[in-house]
Amino acid sequence: MRGAAIATAVLMTVPPEIAGACVFDPPRCATVGGAAFLQHVEGNVVWFNEWRDADQLTRRVLVECTSRQGIMVTDRPDDDVRLRQVAEEYFYEVMTDDVPQTLDQIVRTLRGRGVAAQRVGLSAGHCGCDLPSIPPPPSSCD
Cα distance between residue 132 and residue 91, in whole Å: 17
Residue 61 in this model has a pLDDT that exceeds 80: yes
Q: In sequence order, what E strands does 15-116 have?
A: 22-23, 28-31, 34-42, 45-52, 57-64, 69-74
Would you say residue 14 has pLDDT above 60?
A: no
Long-range contacts formed by 26-31: CB under 8 A, 24+ apart: 26/136, 27/131, 27/132, 27/134, 27/135, 27/136, 27/137, 28/131, 28/134, 28/137, 29/127, 29/128, 29/130, 29/131, 29/134, 30/127, 31/126, 31/127, 31/128
Grade residue 142 by pLDDT with cuts at 50, 70 and 90.
low
Asked if residue 11 has pLDDT above 60, the reply is no
Give the whole-number percent of the chain exceeding pLDDT 90: 57
Sign of the Cα pseudo-torsion (47, 3, 103, 121, in order):
positive
State the pLDDT at residue 2. 38
Amino acid at 18: I
Instruction: Identify the pLDDT of residue 3.
Output: 36
Q: What is the pTM of this model?
A: 0.79
Backbone angles phi, psi at 86, to 5 degrees: -60, -45
Q: CB count, 10 Å around CB of 62?
A: 27
Q: How many CB atoms lie under 10 A from the CB of residue 110?
A: 23
